């Protein structure tokens, strides 16, 4: 399949992403003769483990006994916090990508794992009740044709909300499937694109982070698993940017 680079909008320090920027970016694609085609969609989910902790195995009567006993102390000693953080991955992500609507991808970045599965794996995960959704994001927008390139610009927003949390752009080069062979032309296209965007003096820029695909067991020949890994990284960046803005506000 044709290879693609997935980029995300990195706002300048002190600024945030807004719908005006999204609109300007879309206009920018059209200004370089991008032909608007259809809509596209991707979803990203960050999971967290459902942990039972040590108290889950205690009987109801034993918990009452503990509460009564601790209440009798002048200063109740704190209950020990079970340390489970290291036991389960905190970066377990699920991704659906536009080119494979019937597939779903799981990524654990820390351990460099990417798994391709039929969409029904989501039903299995729900039934297992071992992990639950921590953050769910939708990406949707328009697709543009530009010669041998296909561009997709999408807004990132939480599921069931219209709040803009980020902007994602896919640059797909249709004639080539080899990451290495396409590197030069992709780089050149990105330079032209960045130049077009910079004319609009927007408070930020598109960033491309290329993962080490070999660490995930992926070869040079591009697959949807490459896309999934790129989305997982983009999602982490978007969440980090939102959290950084929120911590400054607080």
Residue ranges binding other proteins (CB under 8 A):
49-54, 56-57, 82, 84, 87-89, 92, 106, 108, 111, 113-121, 123-124, 127-131, 217, 225
Q: Distance (Å, rounded) from C-alpha 122 to C-alpha 168?
A: 24
| C-beta closer to other proteins: residue 117 or 146 | 117
**In the bound complex, what is the minimum distance in angstroms from residue 227's beta carbon to other proteins?**
14
| C-beta closer to other proteins: residue 90 or 183 | 90
| C-beta closer to other proteins: residue 55 or 65 | 55
- Cβ atoms of 206 and 8 within 8 Å: the answer is yes
**In the bound complex, what is the minimum distance in angstroms from residue 236's beta carbon to other proteins?**
17
Dump the DSSP string for 7-50.
EEEEEPTT----HHHHHHHHHHHHHTTPEEEEEEEEEEEEEEE-
| C-beta closer to other proteins: residue 28 or 95 | 95
Find residue 152's DSSP bridge partners.
Answer: 143, 170
**In the bound complex, what is the minimum distance in angstroms from residue 20's beta carbon to other proteins?**
41
Q: Distance (Å, rounded) from C-alpha 24 to C-alpha 197?
A: 8
| C-beta closer to other proteins: residue 12 or 111 | 111
**Phi first, then psi: what are they for 81, rounded to 5°?**
-85, 120
Least Cα distance to 245 among 8, 1, 10, 6 occurs for: 10
**In the bound complex, what is the minimum distance in angstroms from residue 133's beta carbon to other proteins?**
14
| C-beta closer to other proteins: residue 100 or 157 | 100
**In the bound complex, what is the minimum distance in angstroms from residue 113's beta carbon to other proteins?**
5
Q: Which long-range contacts (CB under 8 A, 24 or more apart) does 208-214 make?
A: 208/5, 208/6, 208/7, 209/233, 209/234, 209/237, 210/5, 213/179
- Cβ atoms of 150 and 168 within 8 Å: the answer is no
| C-beta closer to other proteins: residue 225 or 227 | 225
Q: Helix 179-198 to helix 19-31 angle, to the nearest 10 degrees?
A: 110
Q: Distance (Å, rounded) from C-alpha 48 to C-alpha 242?
A: 19
**In the bound complex, what is the minimum distance in angstroms from residue 217's beta carbon to other proteins?**
7
**In the bound complex, what is the minimum distance in angstroms from residue 208's beta carbon to other proteins?**
26
């Amino acid at each position: 399949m044709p290879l693609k680079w997935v980029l995300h909008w990195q706002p300048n320090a002190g600024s945030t992403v807004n719908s005006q920027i999204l609109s300007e970016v879309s206009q920018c694609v059209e200004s370089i003769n991008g032909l608007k085609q259809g809509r596209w969609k991707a979803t990203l989910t960050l999971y967290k483990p459902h942990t039972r902790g040590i108290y889950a195995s205690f009987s109801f009567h034993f918990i009452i006994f503990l509460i009564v006993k601790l209440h009798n102390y002048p200063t109740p000693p704190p209950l020990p916090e079970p340390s489970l953080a290291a036991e389960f991955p905190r970066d377990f992500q699920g991704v659906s990508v536009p080119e494979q609507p019937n597939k779903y991808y799981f990524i654990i970045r820390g351990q460099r794992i990417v798994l391709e599965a039929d969409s029904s794996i989501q039903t299995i995960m729900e039934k297992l009740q071992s992990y639950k959704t921590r953050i769910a994001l939708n990406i949707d927008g328009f697709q543009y044709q530009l010669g041998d390139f296909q561009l997709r610009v999408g807004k990132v927003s939480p599921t069931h909300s219209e709040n803009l949390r980020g902007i994602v752009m896919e640059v797909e080069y249709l004639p080539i499937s080899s990451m290495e062979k396409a590197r030069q032309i992709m780089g050149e296209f990105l330079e032209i694109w960045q130049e077009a965007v910079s004319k609009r003096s927007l408070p930020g820029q598109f960033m491309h982070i290329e993962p080490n695909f070999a660490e995930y067991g992926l070869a040079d020949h591009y697959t949807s698993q490459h896309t999934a890994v790129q989305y997982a990284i983009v999602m982490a960046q978007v969440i980090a940017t939102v959290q950084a803005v929120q911590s400054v506000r607080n």
